[in-house]
Structure 1
Amino acid sequence: MQRHHYRVLASQLIHLYDNIIVISLDGLGHMAVKFGIAICAHITVISTLESKHDNATKLGAKVFLVSKDAEQLKGVENSFHFIIDTVSAPHDVVSMINLLSFQGVYCIVGASPKPVEIPTLILLSKRPIVTGSLIGGMKETHTRNA
């Protein structure tokens, strides 16, 4: 198995073939998809923009969802082990946490200027692991690109 060096994935012990969501296909999201594919994860990309669909599939995402489409999101609730949230603006974190399986991991790497608010009931019922991460330093970046 190829060793991966994307700190978010490595630090959370993502396993081969895990179902992972990448929220937003910006620079960080783009890299998250690439490294998720490298460890054979099943990647779903969620974006507010339908126009990102082609780019997501070209990168290797198996599924593309539009975050504003409540029916699409409802259809995949409780389905994912790990979510990488790369959004750097205020957004609805609760609807994304609902997509996690029991005790799934929600990792924030986008630096939103507003605090994240999660209702206590969701924390009690789903028991998600909510964490954050920096993407890694120059040494890790050079190692993974070698």
Structure 2
Amino acid sequence: MIQFEYSYKPLASEDIRNFENKYGITLPDDYKKFLLHSNGGKPVKRRFKTVDGTITTSIMLFFPIAEETESNLQSFYNQYNLGKIVPSNLLPIGIDPADSLICLDIDGDGKIYFCDMDYFEEDNELKDEYVKLVSESFLMFLNNLYTS
């Protein structure tokens, strides 16, 4: 599994179920295993590219299910999903150095996308052209992270 500079307090399966039930979503199994193992944090290997090769950046933090930090899955879901900033099927799971989001598709296929928040316009959902595919699955995303 992935190594972290730091991570958050461990979760139980019940914590994940409570999160899913509260927001009416189902998380992919590989992402649930990740949350149980580390519950987010700052990874040692963090560089990645979009599939089309147009963007190279780093994931600075995987958001935890935790109340101990404001940068958690709950607050980002409330702000970006319920606030209709990113498409409703994309759950923000991490952030890059420029405050753009790394998102997980929660509508079944579990793909990972980069949402370029530099192009977000107030009162409008982020346009599709600024949502770029990164990986076919969360596990593949983790396995492809590298150091610069």
Q: TM-score, normalised to structure 2's length?
A: 0.29
Give the TM-score, by structure 1 length. Answer: 0.29
Q: Which protein, 1 or 2, shows the higher relative CO under an 8 Å CA cutoff with sep ≥ 6?
A: 1
